[in-house]
Structure formats: structure tokens, C-alpha cells
Amino acid sequence: RKEVEQDPGPFNVPEGATVAFNCTYSNSASQSFFWYRQDCRKEPKLLMSVYSSGNEDGRFTAQLNRASQYISLLIRDSKLSDSATYLCAVARGGTPLVFGKGTRLSVIA
């Protein structure tokens, strides 16, 4: 089993829709969790950290489920500009981040 796994998509959703992505991780000792956004031919950019209690930033909500070893990203009221690839990243204490391969989102007018 890979250390971090994501559904590659693509997820094609209409504008205004709510969409959710999951990211599963294999190591129960994982401590740090992040979501990144990567536009085509650009570098990954930090979207948000994922905290144990869950956290929200505008239309974006991140959740952590330690029991089932996954994190999720929920995007509400999708915009055309949300079209991108979303990468999750996970780390155990004292180790570098391990990135998932990404989930591609296309928001359609």
C-alpha cells in the first residue's frame, strides 16, 4: 500500500457545486497534514493545513479522520478558478512530507 493515496479524478463539476476529495495515508504515526493546490505547469501552493479538530477557510473545509486514516477537502460553491490539481501531503514526526499524486478538479460553467 502506498504511503499516501488519492483518487486521481478528474472530478468534473458544475459551477456552484460542492465537491469533496479524500486522501488516505498508511502510517498511523502521521502527524502533519496539508492540502496543496497546483495549477497546470505551476508549482504546488499551500492551500491549508489540516488540524485534528477540522478547519475552515472560506469555501474550503479540511477534516482529519485518524481512525480511518484519511484527510478530506470539501469545496463549497465551486468557482471556475478552483479548477486545478489538489495534492495532499502527510508527514510523520521528523520526516519530510510525502505527497499524494493529486486529484484533478475541473469546474465547468
Q: Is 92 among the residues that bind other proteins (CB under 8 A)?
A: yes
Closer CB to other proteins, 32 or 65, in the complex: 32
Which of 105, 43, 99 shows the shortest CA–CA distance to 71?
A: 99
Q: Is 24 among the residues that bind other proteins (CB under 8 A)?
A: no
Neighbouring residues of 14: CB distance < 8 A, sequence distance ≥ 6 = 78, 107, 108, 109
Q: Is 29 among the residues that bind other proteins (CB under 8 A)?
A: no
CB of 43 to other proteins, least distance (A): 4
Closer CB to other proteins, 91 or 107, in the complex: 91
Please give the residues from 32 up to 71 whose contact with other proteins meets the rule CB under 8 A.
32, 34, 42-46, 49
Q: Is the dihedral of CA 5, 90, 60, 64 positive or negative?
A: positive
In whole angstroms, what is the distance from residue 54 CA to residue 60 CA? 11
User: Site size for other proteins, by CB under 8 A?
Assistant: 23
